[in-house]
Chain A
Amino acid sequence: GDSVTQMEGPVTLSEEACLTINCTYTATGYPSLFWYVQYPGEGLQLLLKATKADDKGSNKGFEATYRKETTSFHLEKGSVQVSDSAVYFCAQTNAGGTSYGKLTFGQGTILTVHP
């Protein structure tokens, strides 16, 4: 079945360090891929997405490229801030059509950024 695997956490970085959180997926067909972020005490927020191969999603300095050949969607940021401390979830959906709501999530990666 469809699945998403993220790198194990937690990840602890100093401010302005580079970030990469690995994500790979298995799917039948061609899923859409997402990164969601959960800040302390809040719900899941969409960070970025890509709907087809070679698409790059970007938002708030974060980027991820949909790589069909390696079935990956790694999250990257060149210079993290303390405010980026959160839990990051990679997710996929094959739902398409009129709804992108049925998602398969990775296990989440806790990121802590120190000043």
Chain B
Amino acid sequence: EPEVTQTPSHQVTQMGQEVILRCVPISNHLYFYWYRQILGQKVEFLVSFYNNEISEKSEIFDDQFSVERPDGSNFTLKIRSTKLEDSAMYFCATGGNTEAFFGQGTRLTVV
């Protein structure tokens, strides 16, 4: 069964540092997404990516965030200068014709 893989599974970083979260999407999918879930809260949409550009983004996805497909396979989320409130589980997802497939998530802890 195809799956979306995310690395690392857990990352601890100091406030103000840059982090890059990585995702390997399902190969024939064209839509890619990032979501986050702050502990105890809802899973929230961050951004969608199609045809090598952002197709939609939420209010959360400010200038500190960026996404790209650097090599045509990986899909990355970069947070330029992390804040304590960026601590959350980050999920990558890829969209097929009938459903979205989610990775296992990266738990980001900012200290």
Report the number of A-B residue pairs with Cβ-Cβ less than 8 Å: 68
**A108 adjacent to B42 (CB under 8 Å):** yes
Q: Which of A42, A102, A107 touches B42 (beta carbons < 8 Å)? A: A107
Q: Which of B56, B100, B103 touches A100 (beta carbons < 8 Å)? A: B100
**A103 adjacent to B31 (CB under 8 Å):** no
Q: Which residue of B lies closest to A93 (CB)?
A: B100
Residues of B within 8 A of A46 (CB): 99-101
**B94 adjacent to A101 (CB under 8 Å):** yes
Interface digits, B45-57 against A, CB 8 Å rule (1 contact, 0 not)? Answer: 1001010000010
| Assembly CA distance A43 to B100 (angstroms) | 12
Chain A count of residues within 8 A CB distance of the other chain = 23
**A44 adjacent to B48 (CB under 8 Å):** no
**B48 adjacent to A43 (CB under 8 Å):** no
**B43 adjacent to A105 (CB under 8 Å):** yes
Interface digits, A71-109 against B, CB 8 Å rule (1 contact, 0 not)? Answer: 000000000000000000101000100111111111110
Q: Which of B33, B41, B105 touches A43 (beta carbons < 8 Å)? A: B105
A34, A103, A107 pick with most chain B CB within 10 angstroms: A103
Sorting the interface of chain B by its residue count into under 10, 10 to 19, 20 to 34 or 35 or more gives 20 to 34
| Assembly CA distance A106 to B42 (angstroms) | 6
Secondary structure dominating the interface of A? loop
Residues of B within 8 A of A44 (CB): 43, 91, 93, 102
Among B53-111, those with CB < 8 Å from A are 56, 91, 93-105
Q: State whether A108 and B43 are in contact (beta carbons under 8 Å apart), knowing that A43-B4, A101-B33 are contacts in the complex.
A: yes
Q: Which residue of B lies closest to A104 (CB)?
A: B45
A14 contacts B by Cβ under 8 Å = no
Binding site for A on B (CB under 8 A): 4, 6, 30-33, 35, 41-45, 48, 50, 56, 91, 93-105
Q: List 12 A-B contacts (CB under 8 A).
A: A41-B104, A46-B99, A49-B99, A98-B95, A99-B50, A99-B96, A100-B95, A101-B31, A101-B94, A101-B95, A102-B95, A103-B100
- In order of increasing CB-CB distance, the 3 nearest A-B pairs are A101-B95, A99-B95, A44-B102
